[in-house]
Amino acid sequence: MIKTAAVLGATGGMGYALTEALCRRNIKTIAFARSEENLLNFKKSWGQNAVIHSGDALNPDDVEEAVSEADAVFHAINIPYPGWDPTLSIILNNILQACSKHHKPFVYTDNIYSYGLQSSPANEISPKNPHTKKGKLRQTLIEAIKNSGVPYIIAHFPDFYGPHTGNTLLHYTLSQIIEKNKGMFVGKTNIPREFIFIKDGAEALAELALNENSYGEAWNIPGAGTITGEEIASIVSQHLSRGVTFRPVHKWMIRAIGVFDPMMREYTELMYLNQTPVILDGSKYEARIGTLPKTPYEAGIKVTLDHILNERNAAF
């Protein structure tokens, strides 16, 4: 039974949503991140079940202190692409060592990069053929978790969207639309792709972690089906009561921008996901855990837009 959880990376998109979901279940939640100021600000929303713990995941002592106090440890830390190697490996090693020393189960939030190219919806036993640098690194991290001897859950998610997801592709587009009638949309606007409303992902992962029979396995947590950029634009236009246009960003454009922008340079190899998207099969979760939360895109996008608007208004 989880009475106390530690969420590492609590001020990021999934970390924030996970802390929120766990606190709502009346679980004492140690919210771990570098910025004490951000943690204190977010605690106003999380409530009394959130315990603020500022620290650096690159410091093994900081990690161990947070891990030692919890019944389960959620790893929701992510960093910008240019710093992935070797930082992600160092952080994971610090967390796994602390979990092993203190006999704590480990819950890992992962993306879809390790799946590589897939011709049909991917389930947990689909062959993983990562062909990109980032996909291969993610697969290396997965193997480290499996070989650590620590009880684990590995959860694969599609791209996030929703409140507090400022570093995601869809947030990038929606933020531009707020300011003007045109927004850059990475990839073709007529290809169905999968996103997940981040609060749904957090709710599903919290339920998964509370099930003792979930550990020692990888799990897919998909979104509410697929949607095209054109359909997203239509929802945005309706909610904002004005016409909007998404301008597709193609690979050659990303490559050109990457000459000056390290983040875009690193994203170039992932453009295949916007041409031949990986779609997740969540039937295993629904068969063993229960119905997946699936906020309709129309509702989720409207909530995201309102959040961006509120943040912008608060800044003035």
Q: What is the pLDDT along the chain (316 residues), one digit of tens a residue?
A: 899 999 999 999 999 999 999 999 999 999 999 999 999 999 999 999 999 999 999 999 999 999 999 999 999 999 999 999 999 999 999 999 999 999 999 999 999 999 999 999 999 999 999 999 999 999 999 999 999 999 999 999 999 999 999 889 899 899 999 988 888 999 999 999 999 999 999 999 999 999 999 999 999 999 999 999 999 999 999 999 999 999 998 888 888 876 677 777 888 999 999 989 999 999 999 999 999 999 999 999 999 999 999 988 776 6
Query: pTM of this prediction?
Result: 0.96
**pLDDT at residue 15, rounded to an integer:** 98
- What is the SS3 assignment for 19? helix
Are 106 and 145 in contact, with CB atoms under 8 Å apart?
yes
**pLDDT at residue 85, rounded to an integer:** 95
**pLDDT at residue 227, rounded to an integer:** 98
The span from the CA of 3 to the CA of 107, in Å, is 15
The span from the CA of 131 to the CA of 111, in Å, is 15
Burial (CB < 10 A; 0-12, 13-18, 19+), residue 272, is middle
Q: What's the token pair of residue 122?
A: 């991917």
Burial (CB < 10 A; 0-12, 13-18, 19+), residue 97, is middle
Question: Which domains are delineated in the chain?
Answer: 4-164+197-224+278-295 (3.40.50.720)
**pLDDT at residue 257, rounded to an integer:** 73
**pLDDT at residue 132, rounded to an integer:** 97
